[in-house]
Every structure is written in structure tokens, then in C-alpha cells.
Chain A
């Protein structure tokens, strides 16, 4: 049973339209400054563009032939992502700082912005990536054929003539879609937010679809994993797939290692991975979550690969169906049409995701690193005055996209049928792995030179072409296979799959070994014997030490004379007038000038223009354009060192300045605090003065009033006169007591008080106080009780002062107890550490709020009447005395239940 063609095509186009809508929405939100991709989850999902049709269809195909050997392609990225925070973060930082937009640009920029290296990297990429694009086309067309075609098994029939081939039209349709999608606007940093959003969505779709078919096969067609694996293990030909070494080769572990390494390097340097991971990165902190979410994604999408492969083999029997298409043929065989369609859409997601990002990334490289440098070489192009070139750039990219997809189709047409999906993909991986020495070496080794890179890349690429690419074409029947079987020129040691007689390895491992070995050896060797140019040396510093310059001023490796008008005109040509104007305004703001028209055209401005241009046309082309627009002096190695020296001096100065200003700030803070304290002390003093004068005035006023009355009334009766005189004496006593206490407090606070320390027995101090005040308690008819023992060891203190404290507490208590049934208890607790004395009364008690104020000066609590006798200084003085001896004083009270004043004095 098959699906109608119109339904399959209709749904496919509807799906592409949905993708387009998502991308459009993403771009619109980005333009509004409300990005929908600024999330680590979206970032991780977009990195899952790694899973292409290869993963989706090819893994099952490979698993059905070689068992667990589909896994290294995903274990490599797992290992690579462990180091994401170390390695990829550095790539992101470098790319952001220098507006690098592709892997070719990354490598070329590091080696002195060499157009030659940029071109070579681009060339390798294009040649290497074409089979990979072919793979996607092949997968979609095969899946489509299976859905609509008569053959349920997906085995190949005779291919149609090219003009009848739906794959060609598929390629063209995809090219059109990608042009609409990716090159609508020329972004200043070549970021495509809408594309990333669409890719993240595609990652969800393909994972869901693959999990759906996995669950369907495992739990609907079979009785779960146990059943499936049980049947596989019972069958000898299938049990073989569940073991490691099924070929009997002695190099099996080397091959395993090689595949992991290959995948690890590819996940870093495939153009589409570089695009989504490095160029499209919004915030480098997103790497933290993506580092584990992306491997988790790989883990999930691989869970059902083996079950589906085994199920296909059991269901159809070995060799009866194309294992690359098991994900589709299994649901079809069960007549689960909706699921089959969903799975096809999942496969379409996997394939289109790859083709979209890859062709956008590679078309940028072709435009910036192959076409632009060639155009810039022509005198006519360079001299054409003015003119906005942004349209030209877009056109070049669009043509590049169409060309890439047509090349992909060509490879598919020529060689596609001879290989399984995975084998095609591995050819591309091995090509891209050649960038690893140059890129990683350039990030961590300042001594790597452009000559080393050129030689290394050439050797590695040469080995790759000879040992992998040409044999793959030969085996498809388009070339004689003689050189594969007998070696070029009939020389056996030149056999491409057993070079120098190295036999036993599979072609991929063999090619990877020779190409990477040659590449690394030549790269390091030539780097060691060649000298870097000044520009290479300066770029090496900027790349390797990128984290050390965080936040500081970067050295600018440029010298010469420039005119701002020339730079502005240059920017306008490539960026468009608006963006160019904005760039200059931004620069003016950054150097603190308010007019962009009258800025000095110094090295910093030149560098800013060049960096911005690099984001649009690549660093190598930008270098050439800027060099043509300004009058530069050639940079020597000495200049690089001098500039670096100046920059580091500047940095040292600015660091010193920062330190100074920080300590100044600190001093200011301290001064401020001290000032605050002084102010509050001043306020306290004022308060104290006004309180004292107020307290002094009250008795003085009454004395004066009484004296005046006695003077004005000579006939006053003697009894009254006597009464007045008594009051005057009492007030005078209060006055002198007050003055005495004020002086006392001032002396204690100022530290001028005299202390006569001796060994004091607290019990006798208490008894002395009780003896001197006891009569007043008797007069009032109140009870005074003393509890506690005589202490074994004496205290070191001033006995008179302690008596003063006790008297103060007792006289306060006497004031508050009721006239009838007043009771005061003194409790003395003598412990090893110190002595605690409490005085409890049965007066009215003190409220919580008043408890806090009771030790403040002139603060008297309770009834107004009682105030006449007190000065409001007794408790503050007592507290000062106790604190002088290292103790503390407190009050506990509950209104209505009396109050307890206590103090504690430590011994020693």
C-alpha cells in the first residue's frame, strides 16, 4: 500500500512553509530586539543539526550491517562537548571579538588574514561537503520513492534519466527555499536568528519522529526490548551484530578509535556546526547547558537505532530490504500510514536542516573567501568608485547556493547509488578533519605559521583526495578502478587504500591516518622552520591570548595614515549607507567625541572599520579593501612587539589607576562613616547639654520663686517660712547631686574617672548597701530580702563604685514599690566565671518600649511624681561602671509583675 503523491508532496511543502514561517517570525522578533533564540535550550537544539539524514536513515542501515559501529559517530561529539567550555568557548570569544563568520575565515584570520589560506580552506570544504549534501538528497528521494513507489522494500531499481529525476527538482526546490530563507538580508555579523529558530524546531521534529517509530517498532511490532533482543541473540547471524569484533580484523580497535576522533573533530569544524555553535551563539554562557543537552539529544536519538535495525532484519529477512530505509519500510509494512508520513517528515527535517545551514555557511565562505578575493584582484572592480555592493554580495551567495545543491545532485547522480549513506558521510568528515591541526594549533600555539598551515592542508587534502575521494568515484564506475586495485602507474605501494603497503585498515581509517598524520607532521615541521610575518605574529597573539584581554584595551596592530572620508566611503560600499553611518557614530561615542565628522582617523578607527567589514566579506577580503583605502606603513615584527609592549604598559597603567581609584573610594567611604559618627556624637552632646540645663533649671526655678516670695512678704508666718526653707534645702541638695552625677558621668565617659581597685567581696558590698539604705525601707514599711551565699573568691573591682550601683538599684526599687506591702529581693549568684546580682521589686513594672530606654540619660520611666526625686542619670552611670569592669547590665520586666534589674561581673 502506498500514499498518494499529491499528499506526500503537499505535506512536505506545508512543512517547509511552516519552517519558513518560524524563520520569518524569528527574524522579526530579532529585529524588534526580542530574540526567541536567546536560550541555552534553543542553542542546544540548533547544535543538533549534527543529526542529519545520515543519522536518521543511515545509522539504522549501518547498525544492520555492523552492529554497534554506528555509535562512534555520536561518542565523538559526546567527548568533544565535555571540552566545550574550554575549547568552543574560546572559539566563540575569538569569533565574536573579530567578527569571524566561517571556519575558513577563522583559520585565515589567525594566520595573518591570508586570502590564500581562506581560499584553500573553502575549496577543501566545497569538495568535501558535496558528497554530504548528496547524501541528504539521496535520503529524501529514496524515502519519497518508498512512500509513493511500488516497491515496499526500498531496493534500487534502474535510475531514471536526469530530466525525469525528482531528485533534481528536489535540489532546485531546496535551493530556492534556502535563498528565500537565508540571504534575504545581509546581516552585519552574518547571524541568522530566524534560521536558528527553524533549525531548533526541526531538531524537535526529527527526534519525536524517530522516537515514535522506535517505540512503534519495539512495543507494537515486538514485545518490548527484551523480546526483540532475545530473538536477535537466538539468531546467530544477528547475534553477531551485538558483539564488538565481528570482522576478525586485528585493527578493530584502531578503527573504533579513528571513528571517534573523526566525529570529534567534525563536530567542531563542519561548516554547519561552526555556524550554529560559534557564529550563531548569542551568549557564551549558553554553552554550559548545551554542553550536556546536545549529547543527551544524541543519546536519545540513538536509543532505538539497534532495535529498529534488528526488527527490520527479523521482519524482512537479511538482504530483502534496504536497511537505510527501515524506519520507513517497517511502519509501511504494518500499514501505519500516518506514522510513515510523520517519519518521512522527520527525515525531511533532518535532511533540510543540514542542507539549509550547510549551504548558507558554505555559500558565505565561497562568496567571502573565493569570489571576493578574485574580484578584488581585478583593477576595474577595485577602482569602481562608490556604488553599494551589498546587492552584489547577496547575488554571489545565491548563485553559490544553487551551485552547491547542483553539485550535490551531480555527485548523487554519479556516485550516490554505489554507497550506503554512512560511507558517503564519512568521506566528508575526513575532509573536514583536515582543518583541526590548523584551527586548534592556531588557538593554542603562537608558533604556528601560515606556511605551515598551507603545506599541512595541501598534504592532508592531497592524501584525502587520493586515498578516499578518487577511489569512491572509481568504485561508482565513472573511472577505471585499476589504480585502486593495482596502484597508480601499476606501483603496488601507491595503492590508494593500502599506501606504502599499509594493509588491513578500512578505507576511512587508512585515509584518516595518512591525511591527518601528513597534515600534522608538515604543519608542525614547516611552522618550526618558517618565520611568521608581523601580521601573523600579531594575529597569533590576539587568538591565543583572547581570554587574557577580557575587558582591557586591545593592542591595535596597524600603522599609517588614513582619512575618515575614505573609510566612510569604503564602509558604505559594503555595509550600505545606514549601517556605515551607524558604525561611525558608534565609534565616535566610544572615544568620547560627539561629532562623527571630526574624528581622528587613527588606528582604532581603521581597526573598527576592518573588523566590521570582516563580518560581511571575510577578514582576508576586508584586509585587502582597507589596505587599498588607506595609506599604511608595512608592519614589521619589531612594530608588533612595540605595539604589544605599549598595550601592556597601558594595561598596567590602567590597572594601577584602577587600584588607586579603588583605594580612594575606600578611603572616602571610611571618611564618610567617621563623619557620620562625629555628627551623631555631636547631636548626642547637644541633647545632653539641653537635658542638663533643663534638669538644672527646674530646682533653680523653684528655689528662686520661694526666695522671692520670702523677700516680698516679710510678714510670712514662721511655720510657712520654715516649710519653704526645707524645700529650698531639698532642691539645693538635688542640684548638687545632679551636678555631681553629671561630672561623674562625664569623667567616666571621658575615661578620667578614678578607680580604686581592690579585692572585693560582692556579698559584703551588697550588705553595705543594704545597711545604708535599710532604714528608708523600714520607714516605708517595705520588706528587703537578701538571698545568696558569700563568695569563695574575691572580685577585682572598686568597692565604692559597686556600692554606688547597688544603692542606685535599691533606691530606684524603693521609689516604685507600693506604699503597702512593698517587697524587694536581692539575689546574689556566685559562680566560677563571675557574679550575677539581681534586684527584683513588686512595683508596676516597665513596658517593653520603656525597657529599651531605661538606660538612656535623663530618661525616667514610670509616674511623673517619682521624677522629682531622681536625676535620670543613676542607671546610665551604673551601667557605665559595670561595663567598665567588663560586665553587663540589663532589665527584665512584665508590666504589672514588677521589674528585675541585674548585672553580671566577670571574675578577672
Chain B
């Protein structure tokens, strides 16, 4: 396997009505990196993520995953390499029990029933929801749904995890536990989020997007220290880097 794992070159994308959404993005993500993609609403984060899995075809430029250029021929292979966790777990969990949902991917990869079972059990154990296997998704809490959604991707053994707002809608404790869980993963991670405190915990590198362009790409600590950059990208410093109003610290 080559050293880089995701390479995006001069990626441009226009909506069907010709409004440009992505205006020439280029970046390379290396094996084992954990990269945050931050930016205001409408900056193009989700549009970018949809390109990494071939759901949108670039108007210009290209996307490379591992050794393969993303084309129609490599689509299936790329989708196996890139595990995509969607923002709304209700969209991701479309089967009627947790087990069936986590088994969906492995079954499509034509594994034997025993292998599938093993994969599902391992994935559920990794995210800590083994006891929920027979539950229907609509009887889970948001935090549990999010974990199952991650398990449903892990069961396909992807190299790269792409996540859209993994902490949205979680209570503080569920959020904390999810962050701890993600920190244990060895995968290459790409996380689009507004939760900058989570970025501080999980990602050494941050890409800042604004209006379809990359405004900055560098070490997370450097980026969050740059007040002008954050302000012009309609972002704010993570809370823990802000002065404490109560104690004046």
C-alpha cells in the first residue's frame, strides 16, 4: 500500500444549476492520520465527503483512494476501503434489527454466514453494544444509534473512516464516550464537524473550509490559535482555548 491514502487533486464541483460548490480543492491524507474538516454551514464539507465515496462525480479534478483513482470501475473497491458514517443514523440504519444492519455490508461482500456472524459480533463488541444485537434501531437512543452506525461500517473492515458530524445530537456523556471510542481506532479518520473541542481531542491535523475553498490546512493547535483565520471562516475557538469568564482565567 502506498504511503498516502487519500489524495484529492484540484477537485471542483458544480451543482446541477452550475453554482460552484467546491472550487478546486487539493490535499493529501496519509496513512493513520486523523484529519478534521471544519467550516461554517454551507462551506462544502458534506459535498467534499460525498466525493470521497464516489456519490458525487467531480466536475473537474480527481480523487485517489489508496492505489486506485476513483472511477466507475473502482467504485466498489473504494467504497469497501472508505467507511462512511452518515450524519443521521436513521438514514444509515435501514434494517429492522441492529444485527441485520451491521450484517448488511458483510453479506453484500458474499461472506459465509459464519464469517458474517463473526464480523458483526466483533464490530458490535468494538463499539460496546453487543447486548443490543436483536433490538430494532427505532428503540435505541441517539448515542446507541451512533455507535451502531459506526459498527455497521466497521464490519466491512474499512481502512478509512469518514464521519459527518459524529457528535451531533449527543448528550455530554454519550459524546465523551464516543470520542473515547474513536480515539481507540487505528483507522485513517476524516471527520467533518462543528465540534471543535472534539477536534482537539481526536485530530492532529485540521482542514478549514470556507465557501468551497480550503482556507487553511495544518496542525490543529496552530489553526485554532489563529484568531483571524477562525473569524474570517465564521468559526470560533474551541471552548477550552477560550478564557474562562467565570474565573477570569
A, B from the same assembly: no
Q: Which of B's residues lie within 8 Å of A, judged by CB?
A: none
